[in-house]
Amino acid sequence: MMRQYELVERVAGYIENPNETLLNKAYVYAMQKHGEQKRASGDPYFSHPLEVAAILTDLHLDEETIAVALLHDTIEDTDATRIEIDEVFGSKIGHLVEGLTKLKRLDLVSQKAKQAENLRRLLLAISDDIRVLLVKLSDRLHNMRTLGAMRPDKCKRIATETMEIYAPLAGRIGMQDLRDELEELSFKYINPQAYETVIGHLDVLAEKNKSLTQEISQNLQSKLAEANIKARVSSRQKKPYSVFRKMESKGLNFEQLSDIYGFRLIVEKEQDCYQALGFVHTEWKMVPGRFKDYISVPKQNDYQSIHTTVVGPARQRVELQIRTEQMHKVAEYGIAAHASYRNNENYLESSAYESLRATIEQLAEGDNAEEFLEHTKLELFLDQVFCFTPKGRIIALPKGATPIDFAYAVHTDIGNSCIGCKLNGKIVPVVTQLQNGDEVEIIRSEKQSPPAAWESVVATGKARSSIRRASRQAVYKQYSTLGARILERHFDKAKQTYDKDLLEIALPRLARDSVDDVLAEVGRGEMQPDDVVVAIYPEYQVENQEVDAQSNGKSALIQNKKPGRIPIRGINSDLPVKFSKEGGAVPGDNIIGILVPGEGITIYPSESKTLAKFKDDGAHMIDVRWDLDPANKERFPASIYVLVDNKPGTLALVADVIAKNDGNIQNLSMKVIVDEFMEMKIDIDVWGRSHLTQIIKQLSEKSVISKVDRITG
Closest among 556, 618, 616 to 590, alpha carbons compared: 556
**Rounded Cα–Cα distance for residues 302 and 189 (Å):** 31
Q: Which amino acid is at 181?
A: E
Tell me the β-bridge partners of 264: 234, 321
DSSP string, 513-580: S-HHHHHHHHHHTSS-HHHHHHHH-TTPPPP-----TT--STHHHHT--SS-PEEE--TTSSS-EEE-
User: φ, ψ for residue 462 (rounded to 5)?
Assistant: -65, -45
183, HSE (Cβ side, Cα atoms, 13 Å): 20
Does residue 467 contact residue 455 with C-beta atoms inside 8 Å? yes
SS3 for 231? strand
Q: Which amino acid is at 534?
A: V
CA distances from 11 to 60, 133, 368, 540, 611 (A): 7, 20, 41, 79, 81
User: Is residue 84 annotated as a catalytic residue, yes or no?
Assistant: no
Angle at 308 between CA 304 and CA 312, to 5 degrees: 140
Residue in 43, 63, 73, 76 annotated catalytic: 76
User: φ, ψ for residue 426 (rounded to 5)?
Assistant: -115, 140
CA distances from 285 to 259, 316, 391 (A): 16, 11, 36
The 8-class DSSP code of residue 38 comes to B
Quote the radius of gyration of the chain (alpha carbons, Å): 35
**Rounded Cα–Cα distance for residues 241 and 232 (Å):** 27
User: Is residue 77 annotated as a catalytic residue, yes or no?
Assistant: yes
Does residue 688 contact residue 636 with C-beta atoms inside 8 Å? yes
Does residue 328 contact residue 302 with C-beta atoms inside 8 Å? no
The beta strands (E) that lie in 215-295 are given as 231-237, 261-267, 285-286, 292-293
Does residue 586 contact residue 689 with C-beta atoms inside 8 Å? yes
427-437 burial string, b = 16+ CB within 10 Å, else e?
Answer: ebebeeebeee
SS3 for 392? coil
Closest among 556, 607, 550 to 583, alpha carbons compared: 607
Which of 20-23's residues contact partners 24+ apart within 8 Å by CB, and which partners? 22/63, 22/64, 22/67, 22/89, 23/63, 23/66, 23/67
Residue in 20, 43, 77, 84 annotated catalytic: 77
**HEC string for 53-93:** HHHHHHCCCCHHHHHHHHHCCHHHHCCCCHHHHHHHHCHHH
Q: Which residues belong to the active site?
A: 76-77
